[in-house]
Amino acid sequence: MTQYTAPRRVALYARYSTDIQNPMSVDDQFRLAERYAAREGWVVVERFSDKAISGTASHDRAGFLRLMDALAAKERSFDIVLAESLDRVSRDPEHLARFNKLANHARVDIYTVDRGKADTLAVGLSSLLSGMFLEKLSANVHRGIEGNVLRGLSGGGRIFGYRPGTDQRGAPVKGELAIDPIEAAIVRGIFRDYAAGISPIKIASRLNDEGIPSPSVGSKRKSSGHWKQNTINGNRERGTGILNNELYVGRRVWNRLSYSKDPHTEKRTSTLNPQSEWQTVEVPGLRIVDQALWDAVKDRQASQTKRRSKIPTTDRNRLSSGQTLRRRKYLLSGLLHCGLCGSRMTVAGTGKYKTYYCASAKEKGPSVCTGFRGLRDSIALPLVLSGVRDDLMRPEAFETFRKGFQQRLRDSQGAAEDQLRIHDAQVMELETGRRNLIILAKQGLGSQSLVEELNQIDADLARLGASRAKITPPEIELPDNLPELYREMIRNLAATLSEEAIAGRAADELHELVDRVVVDWDADANAHRLTIEGDLFEMLRKSAPSELDAVSGAIFAEVGCGSRI
């Protein structure tokens, strides 16, 4: 009697690593595996594959996970898993060992086209060789990138503000970068805004409102394509974020971070390397931001960090200290303290009736603090500022003011030129899109949606056309009556600093140099007495804001020792 044995059922697995490899390699791997299976008399019942996914990456691969699930299923449809080689299954020793353990438990054999049946010894040896290969590959890649960086070339990755460099014929040169004038203008605008006191959140919001593509657009990363606060602010110590990229001042810093895969989450994480391992190369031809603007941004970052460190966090996520970084409304906000109990004084009322009271006396009652008559802001501010007027009237103070005012005009001119560059690029992009849509319409491929899109483009072009005339670089010449304007500003210093837009900026620096202003009530004199604890007068000698009608927009001029508010 003749007995018939059913042919063994086989599942195929194929994978290729990157977009650089030929996507057809999956089909090629399947073809080789099918030929092997036919020679052995097996029947191919399932196929699993992953495309453009590295075998060293997370095991979170759709095809690989489906194969693992099929191995763990109670009703399996195959008896063998066949791949071209074990490194197609995975180059990660841990993943490969896990796969082998599941296959053994399910009594499923593992075969490869190149070496036949893979027992535990073969899998273990392959894992060891793969681990050694990956370590060697990582070292070779690291050495190669370091060599490129030391030769002044890019270490890889797209950097906002730059495009690939080209030779004299216009052919791309690997590792070379060139400044992209449009993106460079956007970078300078971000730096100027931040130095002027605008928060990263508001900068990101402005860029999104203007429809400016974020750095993630065109990259392989999954992203919404929108600007975010962290895109701008990043991490100063790690050199991430637009504001911390030293390439913008012509200095390439490489090997600041090391990257590895977290064994628990299998996510790629970064670790800050010791500074002794960093590689720094000067590339002045790639400078986008001038040194003065870079320094102004670093000064503000340091100021914000210092302010945050003074405030203890009280919430689980350690975010409460960030609330203190919001712009203060009044010059003396948070500085006035009650001379009786030491509590901060809170402000109530508006306009000329704005008055400071002891917070404890007002909110907790006389058992905590008896309090005293409220201190009008209109009285407190002149008392604080009266000691500085004479110093600010000195000739050397005016000369510093004049130089600072002139420099700010130059900065404003550069900002307007960058705005015009971005504006014209947006117009060019819209006009190109309009021409393409008109070509489609002439070919009879139009539709109602095409008409609506054309109408929207026309509306955007009209809006941009109307706004261009407003973007005019200011003249560098100083007003003839600048000394008179300066003296008028000093005379009206209290009124100027009371304006909300200016008071907030002045208050930020004021809190860096003044511990507190203690307020007492002198019954004999029937008046308040203010005691300044800290270097308030020095701060106000160094700085004075100015809004001059002769210049369009707010200009914060430098006076005294040159510190800006």
What pLDDT is stored for residue 138 in this prediction? 74
pLDDT at 334 over 60: yes
Residue 46 in this model has a pLDDT that exceeds 90: yes
Instruction: Give the position of tokens 């000698």.
Output: 541
As a whole number of angstroms, the distance between CA 379 and CA 97 comes to 78
Q: What is the pLDDT of residue 505?
A: 59
Taking a C-beta distance cutoff of 8 angstroms, is the pair 524, 504 a contact? no
Q: Which residue has the tokens 């300044």?
A: 532
**Is 50 exceeded by the pLDDT of residue 554?**
no
301, pLDDT greater than 50: yes
Q: What token pair was written down for 352?
A: 């000329």
Assess whether pLDDT exceeds 80 at residue 98: yes
Q: If you average pLDDT over every residue of the chain, what do you get? A: 75
The answer to whether the CB of 334 falls within 8 A of the CB of 511 is yes
What is the model's pLDDT at position 50?
87
Residue that wins the pLDDT comparison between 14 and 383: 14
Which DSSP category does 3 fall into?
-
> Is residue 73 very low, low, confident or very high in pLDDT (cuts 50, 70, 90)?
confident
pLDDT at 179 over 80: yes
Contact 91, 124 (CB under 8 A): no
Whether the pLDDT of residue 404 is over 70: the answer is no
pLDDT of residue 12: 95
CB 257 within 8 A of CB 238: yes
**8 A C-beta contact, residue 560 and residue 392:** yes
For every residue of 520-533, DSSP letters joined together read: EEETTTTEEEEEEE
Tokens of 243: 């504001």
What are the pLDDT digits (tens) for 256-281?
Answer: 888 777 666 667 778 888 888 888 88
**Residue 270 main-chain phi, psi, to 5 deg:** -115, 150
Q: What is the average per-residue pLDDT within 300-316?
A: 63
What is the identity of the amino acid at 369? Answer: C
The pLDDT score that the predictor gives to residue 427 is 77
How far apart, in Å, are the Cα atoms of 450 and each of 437, 453, 480? 7, 5, 55
- Which helix H or strand E contains 259, and what residues bound it? strand 257-261
**Structure confidence by residue, pLDDT tens digits, 337-363:** 999 999 999 988 887 788 999 999 988
Supply the pLDDT for residue 503.
60
User: Which two tokens mark 337?
Assistant: 């303290």
Residues 6+ apart with CB under 8 A from 241: 230, 231, 232, 233, 234, 235
Q: Using alpha carbons only, how large is the chain's radius of gyration in Å?
A: 34
Q: How confident is the model at residue 548 (pLDDT cuts 50, 70, 90)?
A: very low
pLDDT of amino acid 237: 87
**What pairs with residue 43 in β-bridges?**
9
The β-bridge partners of 125 are: none
* pLDDT for residue 18: 59
Greater pLDDT, 497 or 147: 147
75 near 4, Cβ under 8 Å? no
Instruction: Give 500 or 450, the one with higher predicted confidence.
Output: 450
Average the pLDDT over 442-459 and give the result.
74
Residue 514, phi then psi, degrees to nearest 5: -120, 125
Top-confidence range, 296-300, 399-403, 452-456:
296-300
Q: Vertex 148, ends 143 and 150: CA angle to 5°? A: 95
Environment class of 171 (CB within 10 Å of its CB; exposed 0-12, middle 13-18, buried 19+): exposed
Q: Which domains does the chain have, with CATH numbers?
A: 9-141 (3.40.50.1390), 174-301 (3.90.1750), 327-419+475-565 (no CATH)
Which stretches of 443-558 are DSSP H helices?
A: 448-468, 482-491, 493-498, 500-513, 536-542
Q: What is the pLDDT of residues 488-547, one digit of tens each?
A: 666 665 555 555 555 655 565 556 556 778 899 988 888 888 886 754 333 333 443 333
Angstrom distance (rounded) from CA 494 to CA 330: 12
More confident position, 216 or 520 = 520
Mean per-residue pLDDT, 152-179: 82
Amino acid at 48: F
Interhelix angle 200-209/181-195, nearest 10 degrees: 140
Quick one: tokens of 173? 């040169």
| 74-96 per-position pLDDT tens digit | 888 899 999 998 888 888 888 88
